[in-house]
Amino acid sequence: KAGVTQTPRYLIKTRGQQVTLSCSPISGHRSVSWYQQTPGQGLQFLFEYFSETQRNKGNFPGRFSGRQFSNSRSEMNVSTLELGDSALYLCASSSSLIGAGGGYTFGSGTRLTVV
């Protein structure tokens, strides 16, 4: 079956612009989480969505937002981009809330570069 699909794979944006990243989870998976990965900070949690509801939010500024649609696809948006937002953004899906004992399947990520 198809894995987690993230689009686009690569993105170059200018400071001050905004960006929208997309994630399509594995068919049937209702939980989607987003992580920011950087060499210095590792995997930092952004949000977790389940059935269109945000269940958890990480310690990121309000410039970072997300949503989940009825088909479980998810988007995250970053407004007023800063150089420090350059990172690999990973989406992960699970068949249930992570607390129910399931593991994540990660997508290949979107590499965002802010110049």
Partner 1 sequence: QQPVQSPQAVILREGEDAVINCSSSKALYSVHWYRQKHGEAPVFLMILLKGGEQKGHDKISASFNEKKQQSSLYLTASQLSYSGTYFCGTQGRTGTASKLTFGTGTRLQVTL
Exactly one of 45, 60, 75, 79 binds partner 1 (CB under 8 A); which one? 45
Amino acid at position 17, single letter: Q
Beta bridge mates, 22:
7, 75
DSSP E strand boundaries for the chain: 5-7, 10-13, 19-24, 31-38, 42-50, 53-57, 64-68, 74-78, 87-94, 105-106, 110-114
| Interface positions, 66-105, toward partner 1 (CB under 8 A) | 90, 97-99, 101-105
Exactly one of 26, 58, 60, 75 binds partner 1 (CB under 8 A); which one? 58
Regarding 33 and contact with partner 1 (CB under 8 A), the answer is yes
- CB-nearer residue toward partner 1: 28 or 103: 103
- CB-nearer residue toward partner 1: 35 or 81: 35
Residue 79 neighbours by CB under 8 Å, 6+ apart: 18, 63, 65
Give the footprint of partner 1 on this chain (CB under 8 A): 4, 33, 35, 41-45, 48, 55-58, 90, 97-99, 101-109
